[in-house]
Amino acid sequence: MLEQEEENCRRSFLKTGLITGAVAIAAGVIGCNSDTKPPGSLTGKKVPLLDSAGNLIYVDEAQIPVHTNFKGITDEESRKGIPGKKFVMVIDLAKCDGCGKCTEACNKMHFLPKEKEWIQVLEMQDAPKEAPYFFPKPCFHCDDPPCTKVCPVDATFKREDGIVAIDIDRCIGCRFCMAACPYSVRVFNWTEPVKPDIIEETPSMERAFQSKKGCVEKCDFCSHMARVDELPACVTGCPMNAIYYGDENENAVTNQAGETENLSQMLEDRAAYRFMEELGTKPRVYYLPPNNRLYPKPDMNNAEENKTNSNG
Amino acid sequence: MAEEKYNLKKEIETVRETCLRPSNHWGRSTRIWIGCLLIVISWGLYCYIHQLRYGLGVTALRNYVSWGLYISIFVFFIGISHSGTLVSAILRITKQEWRRPITRSAELLTFVSLLFGGIMPIIDLGRPDRIANLVIFGRIQSPLMWDIISIFTYLAGSTLFLYLPMIPDMALCRDRLTVCDSRFKKFRKWLYTKMSLGWKGTKEQWRLLDKSMSIMTIIIIPIAVSVHTVVSYIFAMTLRPGWNSTVFGPYFVAGALYSGSAGVVLGMAVFRKFYHLEKYITPRHFDLMGRLVLTLTIIYAYMNLNEYAIPAYMMAAGEGHLLKELFYGDFSKVFWTLQVGTVLLPIIIMAFPKGRSPLILFITCIFIVAGACVKRYIIVVPTLLHPLLPIQHVPESWSSYFPNYVELSVTAACLAGIFLVITLFAKLFPMMSVWEVEEGLVIQQDKQAVMDLRNVRELEEEKTGGREVSSGTVSIKPAVVQINKTPG
């Protein structure tokens, strides 16, 4: 099963580890983790992995931290996050044609009505002479999140895996986090949400359906999917392969087509940036500038009708 | 001498009569007034239950404007609550004699507006049923927590501040009112007896009262300042254009003092009219309060200049967009009406002595209080309508905001609640601090005695022709009035 070609291996990279019940960690991280393991307990069974340079390497199974998880994770575990991970998203604006399929997929995944958008596709133009572009905006899962700072009850918090999550069983609905988020990412349940016909037994932070009357909700980087090593809905839903998702520790991100890229290489080559870096929130979502686009740019005259205000 | 003493006694008797009379009397108009208030409150309560049942969606609030009228009114009420501290504590500390007849109403206004101001954010909560989470999972890092702590401290402090000087008055009520024919006789007797805490007017009791009042006077001021400072932090500690401002703390405190002192003038005028206190609350009081309001309005105008002129000069992208909207966009009419009509014009009016006459000052202060209320709205809402990212792909109604009937009804009910508590308070307790006014009379008497003494001396001088000045020739005793307590 693991005797795949290198390309295939790259593609199914994210799945590989967890299918065997192990999280695949790049060589550098294993180095760190193996410090804690007693030496001489190697099994002799080798597992193929990619290192940060993209080379296929074989690592002893015993050196890979094993996480048997998914079911029966406690509230505490889901508050802590998925061990050893640092989730990151890269959005290639050059590929985004503004079709809005990411929003559709997200809404389907999280059972959201049309007016709720956890990932919005905005039409943006920074200055009159500058090129307009489509701007998919999920939650940025900032490393210095202004929203979690102000929560009076610790209902929204930063997990160790980088995800900013909301505990809808604790939220008191003061909406301070909505005022604090400079990106207007958070949405509120103004009325009783329509409940889907599903039963989820994971803690509320790691569910597909996270709507509760009088509570705040937002993009959670599909933490319930990440737990089973799957890609978020917006990534798999993007027909343009514009959204990449992965683990910063692995230094790899993958898109819908299964193209796994070297994260740091990609950020460097494409001159990636983070939105409104000057706010100091340190987002975990990177944008690749929209150069050499293959699709028509957004019609800003048309967009003007949709929007009431933009400072660009 | 005997005549003076007699007059003073009579005066004191009149004060007691004037202050205690309204408590005996429940007129028809009072009942109608209370009835109207109860209707407004019941309707507001119904609307709130409706909101609880169907969620905040029944209000005009939506994702972009997630805070609206409720939070604006919260800030406004907290602002009004600064009146009590200002007039009472500051005037007490500076030993301003003219404060005596107005301290009680000012302290009451603080207490009541704080009570209802504190309720507003709870009404605004999406899950008021989880309010215990604030205690169970409370995070001290959140500015909201600082608010809760400081508001509760201030509420406790101002309750004490209102109650302490009431103790001697409660004893007076206990001894007097219960023998009169009044409504709820038994209840009143019980209430006054409990509230007077066994006050007998002994030296030790007066000493304790004086001491605790001077302690409270000092500690209530920093608490009051802290309250409005941390209220402003709710806004100032976010990364939003228009809120993200370092001047917000002092700006809010200045705004609170400006609206609060105007609120005191309104309270003064109303009680003066309905309780016939013209003898005690004189045009001089309005003149002096007018000067105070004028000073605070000027400070507030100065803070406004800092708050708007500095970002307007730089016109940074996010801030500039909001400022353009305020200066010549959708909000410009309201904005300039507020700046000119409720800040600039009052300054001009109050600068003239005629502008500080009771009627004109009363009208000016109505504008100031109303202006302060709308100003809170102009601070909260336009910023939320101008986020850093464009508002797109949302229903048209989400990109504008005006409070709907639910919010207006609930807010009206809170306002009616304030009036109801004040009315009931005024019916149960004296609206002037009787003992303090009495002491004021004694001090006045003393001063008069000094003046008399000087007059006698002058006459003496004239008689002796200014040649021989000997203190032995005339024997005038200072008109010391036989009152046990020391004026303070």
Residue B43: pLDDT band with limits 50, 70, 90: very high
The predicted pLDDT at position B181 comes to 56
Is A128 in the same domain as A240? yes
Joined tokens for residue B382: 């336009």
Looking at the structure, tell me whether residues A41 and A114 fall in a common domain.
no
Choose among B128, B317, B390: nearest Cβ to A122: B390
The residue of chain B with its CA nearest to that of A173 is B126
Same domain, A150 and A104: yes
Decide: A189 and A217 in contact? Cβ < 8 Å: yes
Q: Does residue B218 sit at the A interface (CB-CB below 8 Å)?
A: no
A37 within some domain: yes
Burial class (CB in 10 A: 0-12, 13-18, 19+), B470: exposed
- Sorting pLDDT into bands at 50, 70 and 90, what band is A65? low
Question: How far apart are the CA of B300 and the nearest CA of chain A, in angstroms?
Answer: 26
pLDDT of residue B339: 93
Q: Which of A172-176, B101-105, B342-346 has the lowest mean pLDDT?
A: B101-105
Structure tokens at B218: 């000092």
The answer to whether B397 contacts chain A (CB < 8 Å) is: no
Is B477 within a domain?
no
Q: Look at residue B444 and tell me if it is in a domain.
A: yes
Nearest to B394 among A115, A153, A171 (CB): A115
Residue B246, pLDDT > 60, answer yes
**Residue in B68, B56, B57, B61 with CA at minimum distance from that of residue B381:** B68
State whether B389 and A183 contact (CB < 8 Å). yes
Write the CA distances from A126 to A79, A134, B208, B407, integer angstroms.
37, 12, 68, 37
Could you count the other beta carbons within 10 Å of the beta carbon of residue B238?
Answer: 24
Question: CA-CA distance, B445 to B440, in Å (whole number)?
Answer: 8
- In chain B, positions 9-38, which contact chain A (CB-CB < 8 Å)? none
CATH code at position A273: 3.30.70.20
Q: Which pLDDT does position B183 carry in this prediction?
A: 61
Closest Cα to residue A111, out of A210, A215, A235?
Answer: A210
Chain A neighbors of B240, CB-CB under 8 A: 179, 182
pLDDT value of position B187: 79
- Note the pLDDT tens digit of each residue in B78-120: 999 987 777 788 888 888 888 888 888 889 999 999 999 999 9
Tell me: pLDDT of A46 over 50.
Answer: yes
Query: A176 and A124, same structural domain?
Result: yes
Say whether B385 and A309 touch across the interface (CB within 8 A).
yes
Q: CB A178 to CB B235 under 8 A?
A: no
Helix (H, G, I), strand (E, B) or coil at B140: coil
H-helix or E-strand containing B145? Answer: helix B143-163
pTM of the shown model? 0.85
Q: What is the mean pLDDT of chain A?
A: 81
Residue of chain A minimizing CA distance to B316: A311
Taken in order B285, B291, B292, B296, the sign of the CA dihedral is positive
Are A230 and A131 members of one domain? yes
The answer to whether the CB atoms of B142 and A176 lie below 8 A apart is yes
Question: pLDDT tens for residues A97-148?
Answer: 999 999 999 999 999 998 899 999 999 988 888 889 999 999 999 999 999 9
What is the reported pLDDT for B336? 94
Question: What percentage of chain A reaches a pLDDT higher than 70?
Answer: 79
Average pLDDT over residues B365-391: 93
Please, which pLDDT band fits residue B414 given cuts at 50, 70 and 90?
very high
CB-CB neighbors (< 8 A) of B138 in chain A:
152-153
Point out the residue among A172, A180, A310 whose CB comes nearest to the CB of B127: A172
In tens, the pLDDT along B170-224 reads 888 888 766 555 566 777 788 888 888 888 888 888 999 989 999 999 999 899 9
Do A237 and A103 share a domain, yes or no?
A: yes
What local confidence, expressed as pLDDT, does residue A9 receive?
Answer: 46
Q: How confident is the model at residue B276 (pLDDT cuts 50, 70, 90)?
A: confident
Contacts of B34 (CB under 8 A, 6+ apart): B420, B423, B424
Q: Is B232 exposed, middle or buried (0-12, 13-18, 19+ CB in 10 A)?
A: buried
pLDDT of residue B11: 75
Confidence class of residue A311 from pLDDT cuts 50, 70 and 90? very low
pLDDT, tens digit, 9 for 90 and up, residues B381-399: 999 999 999 888 888 888 8
The predicted pLDDT at position B180 comes to 57
**A278 in any annotated domain:** yes
Q: Is B131 on the interface with A (CB under 8 A)?
A: yes
Give per-residue pLDDT as tens, B248-273.
Answer: 999 999 999 999 999 999 988 988 88
Contacts of A137 in chain B (CB under 8 A): 389
pLDDT at position B279, please?
A: 82
| Sign of CA pseudo-dihedral A194, A195, A196, A202 | positive
**A24 with A138, same domain?**
no
Residue B119's pLDDT is 93
CB within 8 Å: A149 and B392 = no
Confidence of residue A94 (pLDDT cuts 50, 70, 90): very high
B121 pLDDT above the threshold of 90? yes
Query: Does residue A121 sit in the same domain as residue A256?
Result: yes
Q: Do A213 and B66 touch (CB under 8 A)?
A: no
Q: What does the pLDDT average to over B315-325?
A: 87
Range of B67's domain?
2-459
Scan for tokens 């010391």, then name that residue: B480
Joined tokens for residue B69: 């009228």
- Same domain? For A136 and A36 the reply is no
Closest CB to A122: pick one of B54, B64, B392. Answer: B392
Q: Let me know if residue B483 belongs to a domain.
A: no
* CA distance, residue A79 to nearest chain B CA (Å): 14
CA distance A288 to A71: 36
Handedness of CA B288, B291, B296, B297 (dihedral sign): positive
The answer on pLDDT for B469 being more than 70 is no
Whether A296 is covered by a domain: the verdict is no
Q: Is residue B485 part of a domain?
A: no
Pick B395's closest partner by Cβ from A115, A137, A155: A115
What's the domain range around A25? 6-63
> Is the Cβ pair B126, A176 closer than 8 Å?
no
- Rounded to whole angstroms, the Cα distance separating A287 from B115 reads 49
pLDDT reported for residue B182: 58
> Is A233 part of any domain?
yes
Domain edge (last residue) among A63, A84, A104: A63
Put simply, the answer to whether B148 touches A188 (Cβ < 8 Å) is no
In a domain, A306, yes or no: no
Q: Is residue B205 part of a domain?
A: yes
Burial per residue of A270-309, b for 16 or more beta-carbon CB atoms within 10 angstroms, e otherwise: bebebbbeebebebbbbbbebeeeeeeebebeebeeebbb
- CATH code at position B290: 1.20.1630.10
Of residues A263 and A307, which shows the higher confidence score? A263
CB within 8 A of A252, min separation 6: which ones? A13, A26, A50, A246, A260, A261, A262, A263
| ipTM higher than threshold 0.90 | no
Size of interface A-B (CB pairs under 8 A): 161
Bridge partners, A133 (sequence order): A124
Residue A35 within any structural domain of the chain = yes
B203 CA to centre of own chain: 32
Chain B residue at shortest CA distance from A280: B239
Could you tell me if B132 lies within 8 Å of chain A, comparing CB atoms? no
Distance CA A23, CA A29 (A): 11
Domain count for chain B: 1
Do A245 and A123 share a structural domain? yes
Q: Are residues A51 and A137 in the same domain?
A: no
Q: Which residues of B touch A171 (CB under 8 A)?
A: 126-127, 130
Say whether pLDDT at B350 is over 90: yes
* Residue B430 banded pLDDT, cuts 50, 70, 90: confident
Query: Can you tell me the distance from the alpha carbon of B341 to that of A146, in angstroms, rounded to the nearest whole number?
Result: 37
Instruction: State chain B's mean pLDDT as an integer.
Output: 86
Flag if A312 and B317 touch (Cβ within 8 Å).
yes
Is residue A101 domain-shared with residue A39, that is, in the same domain?
Answer: no
Chain B residue numbers with beta carbons less than 8 Å from the beta carbon of A151 are 139, 142
Nearest to B392 among A123, A186, A281 (CB): A123
A52: Cβ contacts below 8 Å, ≥ 6 apart: A26, A27, A28, A250, A251, A262, A264
For chain A, how many structural domains are there in total? Answer: 2
